[in-house]
Amino acid sequence: MNKNKMIIIVSLLILILITAGALLVVENPEIMNKIKNISKGENNKQSKNSDNIKKDSKEKVSEKNNEENKEENNKEDKSITIDIGKEAPDFKYKNSNGEEVFLKDLNGKEVSLKDYKGKYLFVNFWATWCEPCREEMPDLNKFYLENRNEIEVLAINIGEEKTLAEEFIQENEYRIPVLLDEESEIASKYGVALIPMSFIIGPDGKIKAINPGVMTYDQMKESLRIVKQ
């Protein structure tokens, strides 16, 4: 047998083996199912990987937007100088979606500093966990009730959920209007480093007095008298 015939015979044998293997796969359902499952598994794996990539991409975009909004709010805060005689910051900031929003009261109504244009306004920053704030609250409530013809009062709760502030106000039967600064954005704009902290804003929208720490009723009255001179 010459070399050429040997090559032809070997080639035929290989072709026969390949054909037999293909027929075995087609005729054997178990083998076919295994092949299908492997293929399906690979497709699912690729699909899950694709979904995960999309999810990660969305989360990264959302995180980036949040960081950009925080940076923008910080830039605005740095541009504001808190001091007597300076313009008081409005009660607005940019949320995580980049939308400009105002603080809301316990009824869900948005409140702007412009709502008090032409009036004196006493702004107090507080929290329910703050013991000095709790001690000051009865005097603040009395000051609000007895001087409403001279000055408006806003108690801005910072860093807490609505339910905490609302329960505290209702349990003690306080009448003071409360705004919710859950992200402490406005407290930051006002440079609040400790609480309680109070500001008196004049009819022109400028800061007339800054009072860090607890104030008694008499001190509140005296502070108002001085700024109105």
- SS3 readout for 40-59: HHHHHHHHHHHHHHHHHHHH
Residue 67 lies in a domain: no
Report the 10 Å Cβ neighbour count for 174. Answer: 18
Q: Between residues 115 and 82, which one has the greater pLDDT?
A: 115
Instruction: Give pLDDT, residue 78.
Output: 47
pLDDT score of 33 more than 90:
no
For residue 74, give the H/E element and its range: helix 29-79
Domain tally for the chain?
A: 2
- Are 123 and 188 members of one domain? yes
Each residue's pLDDT tens digit, 172-216: 999 999 999 999 999 999 999 999 999 999 999 999 999 999 999
Average pLDDT score over residue span 82-86: 95
pLDDT band at residue 139 under the 50/70/90 scheme = very high
Residue 69 lies in a domain: no
Residue 222 lies in a domain: yes
Q: Between residues 38 and 107, which one has the greater pLDDT?
A: 107
Residue 74 lies in a domain: no
Compute the distance between CA of residue 192 and CA of residue 188 in angstroms, rounded to an integer.
6
- Are 153 and 42 members of one domain? no
Q: Report whether 34 contacts 24 (CB < 8 A).
A: no
Q: Domain ends where: 43, 58, 73?
A: 58
- Are 205 and 159 members of one domain? yes
pLDDT band at residue 146 under the 50/70/90 scheme = very high
Report the 10 Å Cβ neighbour count for 209. Answer: 15
- Are 98 and 28 members of one domain? no
Q: Between residues 54 and 67, which one has the greater pLDDT?
A: 67
Q: Report whether 165 contacts 157 (CB < 8 A).
A: yes
pLDDT score of 226 more than 90:
yes
Distances (CA, A) of 148 to 86, 118, 135, 180: 24, 14, 21, 21
Pick from 133, 140, 144, 90: which is nearest to 114 by CA?
90
Residue pointed to by tokens 């709010």: 73
- Are 108 and 184 members of one domain? yes
- Are 208 and 117 members of one domain? yes
Average pLDDT score over residue span 55-81: 50
- Are 24 and 94 members of one domain? no
User: Residues for the chain: how many in total?
Assistant: 229
pLDDT score of 155 more than 90:
yes
pLDDT band at residue 166 under the 50/70/90 scheme = very high
- Are 38 and 137 members of one domain? no
Instruction: Give pLDDT, residue 80.
Output: 60
Residue 35 lies in a domain: yes
Angle between helices 217-227 and 131-146 (to 10 degrees): 60
Q: What pTM was estimated for this model as a whole?
A: 0.68
- Are 221 and 120 members of one domain? yes
Average pLDDT score over residue span 67-83: 57
pLDDT score of 60 more than 80:
no
Residue 153 lies in a domain: yes
- Cα R_g (the chain), whole angstroms: 35
Q: What is the CATH number of the domain that holds 217?
A: 3.40.30.10
Q: Report whether 175 contacts 146 (CB < 8 A).
A: no
Residue 64 lies in a domain: no
- Are 114 and 151 members of one domain? yes
- Are 54 and 143 members of one domain? no
pLDDT band at residue 81 under the 50/70/90 scheme = confident
Domain that holds residue 29: 3-58
For residue 94, give the H/E element and its range: strand 92-94
- Are 136 and 35 members of one domain? no
Average pLDDT score over residue span 132-142: 99
Q: In this structure, what DSSP letter does residue 91 have?
A: S
Angle at 86 between CA 81 and CA 90, to 5 degrees: 80
Average pLDDT score over residue span 47-70: 48
Residue 141 lies in a domain: yes
What token pair was written down for 92?
A: 């607005």
DSSP letters for 132-171: HHHHHHHHHHHHHHH-TTT-EEEEEEESS-HHHHHHHHHH
